[in-house]
Amino acid sequence: MTPKSGNTKSHDSWTGDPAQLLRVGAGFRLAEVDPGATPGYAGGRKGAELDLAAGAARLGELQERLFAQSRSDATADSVLLVLQAMDTAGKGGIVRHVIGAVDPQGVALTAFKKPTPEELAHDFLWRVERRLPASGFIGVFDRSHYEDVLIGRVRALAPPEEIERRYGAIADFERRVADAGTRIVKVMLHISADEQKARLMERLDRPDKHWKYNPGDVDERELWPQYMAAYQTVFERTSTLDAPWHVVPADAKWYARLAVQALLLQALEAIDPQWPAATFDVAAERARLAAT
Amino acid sequence: MTPKSGNTKSHDSWTGDPAQLLRVGAGFRLAEVDPGATPGYAGGRKGAELDLAAGAARLGELQERLFAQSRSDATADSVLLVLQAMDTAGKGGIVRHVIGAVDPQGVALTAFKKPTPEELAHDFLWRVERRLPASGFIGVFDRSHYEDVLIGRVRALAPPEEIERRYGAIADFERRVADAGTRIVKVMLHISADEQKARLMERLDRPDKHWKYNPGDVDERELWPQYMAAYQTVFERTSTLDAPWHVVPADAKWYARLAVQALLLQALEAIDPQWPAATFDVAAERARLAAT
């Protein structure tokens, strides 16, 4: 399950490997990441549009192979994209524009909300386990078990020793999931506080966006430094070889979409799924069919 | 819940109302439908490509409104597309090309397979109930409870009196679902036996399609007349005002996709979802946000 290094061949305007450039490694400091940057990409907004379309075609083909492979091998690999971010950072746009280009039949999307009473009566990973992608699927988590160490920590929704326990539990859980054949791609979309302010203001300015606005968003915004500290801790405790974190600058939506697509493409290229061989006698079936 | 009649305004090459033309009404005979026809559409394959793209944009906007409406009203409407067909008729293509154009966050897709032992230990509608779309969602059933009166009948998977019971149970079930706010769009994609043969042969000819071929498909094909009779009975017993059936000629894939899109558009236009009013004081929130 060691990720192969590789470059996304279909993307001509990348000047560096996004997986390497965006990966959270030793000594990583979130505070040093510029949310307005576009690391490793030289094509600009126009180039990104073309590269996103080319990447979508490639992603579609790889997804179909991944799915096909799983039809005759129930232990075949799967992919899990975990999306975390502050409000308005663009998780929805990733789902719509990157995941939306893939055949819906091969995608398993879960938007995790505030836990229900039933979910709270179980360990925090219980509801997550149930939503893991089956063999051959691309799973997408819009929010995830990381909420339990982000808002969970900032809002003290559990005792400190319970929050502390969770980091190790997550690392163990993700190691098992990876060992069982799921390639995990963890992404934090990183926007600046100023950009969030502008995006929230736009939601207030447009009646067709009012439904996306929640007064609670401003309450959370006032805890920005605490959230950034909680993310820093998440990165230090849970960016593992099995499931590394990537911090994707997201003030430029076009960059964030292209970068997440590139990370997904690399995960699929590392799996390198193949069309499965026929499990029947092709000539015999052709004769049977011809006779009908 | 009575469907409004209406025409799909965005589709210029329709010469008739697809919902009316394709709906199963009194005296309907499946045997009289030409699977190669393209009723009500004069644009041909080229026109269909343009109309499908225009329709996708309109579908996307209506879906977002439907979803938005449900955020502040948990009793808001939903849509359920039920897809039934013989193998290779193009259900997967509908999901990919019609549903695939909609934001995945607003779609709930279920592909019903052979029932599991747990599902068989319950009434046949048990697993269906669990997959009904929540308020604001477009649910899609790739196969459905109708399998239980199609293959169920043809293969005698249940006693005749149990099969008989199910038609009434389905009508009652769908009436309740419709009354509770789900607009049900039932579609049979209708291909000819010759077209199926050609499509199955193509799967045998192409190694990248072998995974889609199942020797059992030929066994089912040999029961073609029995399946057509079972469909005819389904239409007579379950095409109701609450949930009418539509038979969509599907030898021309481009027509089938455009027609199903048009039926979905009409369902959404009949709901006519509106952006919900703000549930907060917009000016006060603007001031709060500005102060951060």
Confidence of residue B73 (pLDDT cuts 50, 70, 90): confident
Of A100, A275, A282, the CB nearest to B104: A100
Q: What is this structure's pTM? A: 0.94
Q: Which residue is closest to B200 within chain A, CA to CA?
A: A289
Q: How far is CA A123 from CA A67, A119, A162, A165, in A?
A: 31, 8, 11, 11
How many angstroms separate the CA atoms of A82 and B87, rounded? 35
CB contact under 8 A, B289 and A99: no
The answer to whether B48 contacts chain A (CB < 8 Å) is no
The answer to whether B131 contacts chain A (CB < 8 Å) is no
Tell me the Cα Rg of chain B.
20
Q: Check residue A72 and give its pLDDT.
A: 85
The answer to whether A120 contacts chain B (CB < 8 Å) is no
Confidence of residue B167 (pLDDT cuts 50, 70, 90): very high
Q: Check residue B74 and give its pLDDT.
A: 85
pLDDT above 50: residue B134: yes
The answer to whether B111 contacts chain A (CB < 8 Å) is yes
Task: Read off φ and ψ for residue B191, nearest 5 degrees.
Answer: -110, 165
Considering only residues A55 and A4, tell me which one the structure prediction assigns the higher pLDDT: A55
Name the residue among B257, B270, B271, B273 with its Cα closest to residue B83. B257
Query: Which B positions 132-161 lie with beta carbon below 8 A of chain A?
Result: 140, 142
Write out pLDDT tens, residues B3-50: 333 444 444 699 999 999 999 999 999 999 999 999 999 999 999 999
Mean pLDDT across chain A, nearest whole number?
Answer: 95
pLDDT above 90: residue A7: no
Confidence of residue B201 (pLDDT cuts 50, 70, 90): very high
Name the residue among B15, B33, B16 with its Cα closest to residue B25. B33
Task: Please list every residue in chain B whose beta carbon sits closer than 8 Å to the beta carbon of residue A70.
Answer: none
How many angstroms separate the CA atoms of B280 and A217, rounded? 12
A23: left (phi over 0), alpha (psi -120 to 50) or beta: beta
ipTM of this complex: 0.91
Confidence of residue A6 (pLDDT cuts 50, 70, 90): very low
Interchain CB contacts (distance < 8 Å): A and B = 112
How many angstroms separate the CA atoms of B199 and B85, rounded? 14
Write out pLDDT tens, residues A147-173: 999 999 999 999 999 999 999 999 999
pLDDT above 80: residue B153: yes
Q: Check residue B7 and give its pLDDT.
A: 43
Q: Check residue B72 and give its pLDDT.
A: 86
Of A92, A210, A290, the CB nearest to B278: A210
The dihedral formed by the CA atoms of A138, A139, A142 and A145, expressed in degrees to the nearest 10: -140
Residue B185 belongs to what H/E stretch? strand B182-190
Of B92, B103, B280, the CB nearest to A105: B92
The answer to whether A5 contacts chain B (CB < 8 Å) is no
CA distance A237 to chain B (A): 30
Name the residue among B262, B247, B269, B246 with its Cα closest to residue B41. B262
Task: Please list every residue in chain A whose beta carbon sits closer than 8 Å to the beta carbon of residue B289.
Answer: 197, 200-201, 204, 218, 221
CB contact under 8 A, A210 and B275: yes
DSSP A149-187: GTHHHHTT-S-HHHHHHHHHHHHHHHHHHHHTTEEEEEE
Q: Check residue A68 and give its pLDDT.
A: 96
CA distance A3 to chain B (A): 26
Q: Which residue is closest to A112 within chain B, CA to CA?
A: B105
CB contact under 8 A, B218 and A103: no
Q: Check residue A4 and give its pLDDT.
A: 37
CB contact under 8 A, A111 and B105: yes
Residue pair B256/B248 in contact by the 8 Å Cβ criterion:
yes
DSSP A251-287: SSHHHHHHHHHHHHHHHHHHH---PPPPSS-HHHHHH
Task: Please list every residue in chain B whose beta carbon sits closer than 8 Å to the beta carbon of residue A69.
Answer: 211
CB contact under 8 A, A72 and B213: no
Of A68, A95, A289, the CB nearest to B201: A289
Confidence of residue A3 (pLDDT cuts 50, 70, 90): very low
Confidence of residue A117 (pLDDT cuts 50, 70, 90): very high
The answer to whether B116 contacts chain A (CB < 8 Å) is no
Q: Check residue B5 and give its pLDDT.
A: 39
Residue pair B161/B55 in contact by the 8 Å Cβ criterion:
no
The answer to whether B99 contacts chain A (CB < 8 Å) is yes
Task: Please list every residue in chain B whose beta carbon sits closer than 8 Å to the beta carbon of residue A71.
Answer: 211
Give strand pairing partners of B245: B186
Task: Please list every residue in chain A whose beta carbon sits closer than 8 Å to the beta carbon of residue B215.
Answer: 280, 285, 288
**What is the arithmetic mean of pLDDT over A108-125?**
97
Mean pLDDT across chain B, nearest whole number?
Answer: 95
The answer to whether A280 contacts chain B (CB < 8 Å) is yes
Confidence of residue A74 (pLDDT cuts 50, 70, 90): confident
CA distance A136 to chain B (A): 13
The answer to whether B210 contacts chain A (CB < 8 Å) is yes
The total of other beta-carbon atoms located within 10 Å of residue B211's CB is: 21
CA distance B279 to chain A (A): 8
How many angstroms separate the CA atoms of B245 and B187, rounded? 6
CA of residue B261 relative to chain centroid, distance: 9
pLDDT above 80: residue A254: yes
CB contact under 8 A, A72 and B276: no
Of B204, B275, B288, the CB nearest to A211: B275
Residue positions counted in chain B: 292
CA distance A272 to chain B (A): 15
How does DSSP classify residue B105? Answer: G
